[in-house]
Amino acid sequence: MDLSIKKLLKRYGIKIEYTNEIEFTARLFNTPKGMVIIMRSGMPDGMENQVILHEIGHIKNDGCQSYQDWRSKIVMEKDANEYMLDKVVSDYIDSCDPSELNSIDFLERHNLSQSLDYTVRNLIRENCPNSDDIKS
């Protein structure tokens, strides 16, 4: 787990618990002892970082509220994905020459759906002003 993610966990007072006893990848729970992310054990580091950032995005965007309907759930999941992508795209930009930035390459490197291409392209443009000719 990246140091920057450890700092975010500490800032938000979130604990991580690992188990193989779950059917989901990870979920955030608000418990009497504070926020806890229950995660499936054995994920590769990169995927674990993305999943934790996604769950932190829920806290940042909606305060760990329960979903009242499917529309709310879709919006909350989108917002959490955008929070995760903002952090991961920023690291990607820092690691690449601006002429090499490629949204599809980013998605493939991070094993993410190509349906996120539009969002990734916009994040690259926002964070790297000289990237008008982003490859995809």
Burial of 98 (0-12, 13-18, 19+ CB in 10 A): middle
Residue 53: closest CA among 89, 102, 22, 23: 89
Q: How many residues does the chain have?
A: 136
Check residue 64 and give its pLDDT: 54
Check residue 68 and give its pLDDT: 53
Q: What confidence tier does 49 reach under pLDDT thresholds 50, 70, 90?
A: very high
Residue 23, number of CB atoms within 10 A of its CB: 5
65-122 pLDDT per residue, tens: 555 555 677 777 888 888 889 989 998 888 888 888 889 989 998 888 888 888 898 8
Token digits for 115? Answer: 């349906």
Proportion of the chain above pLDDT 70, given as a percent: 85
Dihedral sign (CA 45, 49, 50, 52)? positive
Residue 2: closest CA among 114, 67, 95: 95
Q: Which domains does the chain have, with CATH numbers?
A: 3-127 (3.30.2010)
Range of weakest confidence among 21-30, 51-60, 127-136: 127-136
